[in-house]
């Protein structure tokens, strides 16, 4: 085999080998499998979002339903500078273990506050007249474990 | 291959865009396949390619750009898969300064004129395959994939000087093996 100009015999031989292998590649089925995996991941993601939305809706319903248990209002020891919160009040799934709890803040109907035996403050603005803020503890399985209500700083002066 | 386009394709692939992923796959699968075949054998090519691109899909939450080229990033993942497969067969070597020895050995192969193209390819393939994995991957990346030394250093996670040293040693070993192959071919024809 003749060597190319300016190349060593080894370079020429390696180049010949590389050219010989240029058409090699993975089987066609591999790409199809990977594309199927993309669709599967997308479908799983859509399912997770749907579960999260359902869980948020369920939290509001639980909050309304559980009102009959009458949890007393209390000032939180971990009160933030700008707001006052109640203690976390357990919900139906509070006994289900979870390793990764997250706090999700929602606006819930004022009636939810009443159903927990709490006195709703007078709203400062008409826009917030129908809702109050709540922090919901949600596990990585989407189940709500507990809820607490939040009084924003601006509302505090109006509370008795 | 346009690196900006590659980076965009990677970003879009991580977001789950099928068309971008297909293009990224078509650009890089063949090189990764050949690297895997040289390192682990013909049966491993498909598996390594699949595992490499699956790893990309599973990093969908990531938005950071790779620290190296996209090709280097993909080869880095592929190398991780390859090393898992090789296990203890991949023995790290002490990269001593043996450039002088390599240069002497390089001069020993004057030409491969006595071999046909097919014989040359077969002889080189056998010689590459017989190299220790640590030297083989330097030849595969730098000589066969034509990767720049800096990019190869990124994939191999070592300094550029180490890449040069390994490549030099690998080429010296190849010259020795090819010289022997040429002598055998000449003797057979007499």
Residues of A at the B interface, defined by Cβ within 8 angstroms:
1-3, 8-14, 16-18, 20-22, 24-27, 29-31, 33-35, 37-39, 41-42, 45
Which pLDDT value is given to residue B104? Answer: 44
From the CA of A155, how many Å to the nearest CA of chain B? 39
* Model confidence pLDDT, tens digit, residues A71-82: 555 555 554 457
Query: What pLDDT, in 10s, does the model give residues B5-61?
Result: 888 899 888 888 889 999 999 999 999 999 999 999 888 999 999 999 999 888 766
**pLDDT for res B21:** 92
Bridge partner list, A152: A83
> What CA–CA distance (Å, rounded) separates B13 from A117?
51
At B149-160, the pLDDT tens digits run 999 999 998 999
Instruction: Give ∠ CA B166-B169-B173 in degrees, rounded to 5.
Output: 135
Judge whether A15 and A1 are in contact, CB under 8 Å. no
For chains A and B, CB pairs below 8 A equal 104
Q: How close is the nearest chain A Cα to the Cα of B58, in Å?
A: 9
Q: How far apart are the CA of B174 and the nearest CA of chain A, in angstroms? A: 8
Quote the minimal CA–CA distance from A43 to chain B in Å: 11
Q: Do B124 and A17 touch (CB under 8 A)?
A: yes
Chain-wide mean pLDDT for chain A?
A: 75
Distance CA B58, CA B81 (A): 15
Taking only the tens place, the pLDDT of each residue in B66-112 is 677 899 999 999 999 999 988 877 776 655 544 444 554 555 566 56
From chain B, pick out residues whose CB is under 8 angstroms from the CB of A42.
16
Which residues in A lie closer than 8 A to residue B122 (C-beta atoms)? none
Question: What value, to the nearest 5°, has the Cα angle with vertex B160 and ends B175 and B99?
Answer: 35
* Predicted complex: ipTM over 0.90: no
C-alpha to C-alpha distance for B111 and B115, rounded to whole angstroms: 9
Instruction: Provide the percentage of residues in chain B whose pLDDT is more than 70.
Output: 81
Nearest-by-Cβ selection for A13 from B30, B60, B112: B112
User: What pLDDT was estimated at residue A152?
Assistant: 76
């Amino acid at each position: 085999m003749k060597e190319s100009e300016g190349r060593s015999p080894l370079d020429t031989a390696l180049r010949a080998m590389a050219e010989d292998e240029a058409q090699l590649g993975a089987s066609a089925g591999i790409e199809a499998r990977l594309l199927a995996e993309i669709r599967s991941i997308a479908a799983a993601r859509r399912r997770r979002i749907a579960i999260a939305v359902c869980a948020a809706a369920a939290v509001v319903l639980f909050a309304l339903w559980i009102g009959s248990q009458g949890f007393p209002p209390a000032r939180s020891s971990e009160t933030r500078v700008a707001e006052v919160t109640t203690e976390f009040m357990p919900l139906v799934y509070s006994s289900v273990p979870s390793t990764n709890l997250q706090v999700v803040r929602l606006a819930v109907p004022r009636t939810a506050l009443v159903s927990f035996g709490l006195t709703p403050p007078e709203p400062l603005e008409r826009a917030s007249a129908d809702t109050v803020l709540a922090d919901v503890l949600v596990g990585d399985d989407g189940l709500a474990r507990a809820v607490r209500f939040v009084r924003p700083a601006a509302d505090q002066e109006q509370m008795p | 291959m346009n690196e900006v386009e590659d980076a965009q394709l990677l970003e879009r692939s991580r977001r789950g865009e099928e068309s971008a992923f297909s293009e990224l796959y078509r650009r890089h699968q063949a090189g990764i396949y050949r690297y895997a075949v040289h390192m682990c054998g013909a049966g491993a090519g498909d598996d390594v390619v699949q595992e490499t691109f699956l790893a990309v899909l599973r990093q969908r939450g990531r938005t950071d750009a790779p620290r190296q080229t996209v090709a280097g990033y993909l080869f880095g993942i592929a190398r991780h898969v390859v090393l898992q497969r090789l296990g203890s067969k991949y023995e790290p070597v002490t990269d001593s300064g043996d450039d002088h020895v390599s240069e002497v050995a390089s001069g020993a192969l004057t030409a491969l004129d006595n071999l046909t193209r097919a014989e040359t390819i077969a002889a080189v393939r056998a010689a590459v395959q017989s190299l220790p994995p640590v030297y083989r991957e330097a030849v595969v990346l730098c000589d066969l994939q034509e990767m720049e030394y800096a990019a190869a250093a990124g994939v191999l996670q070592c300094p550029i000087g180490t890449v040069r040293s390994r490549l030099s040693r690998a080429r010296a070993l190849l010259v020795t093996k090819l010289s022997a192959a040429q002598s055998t071919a000449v003797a057979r024809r007499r």
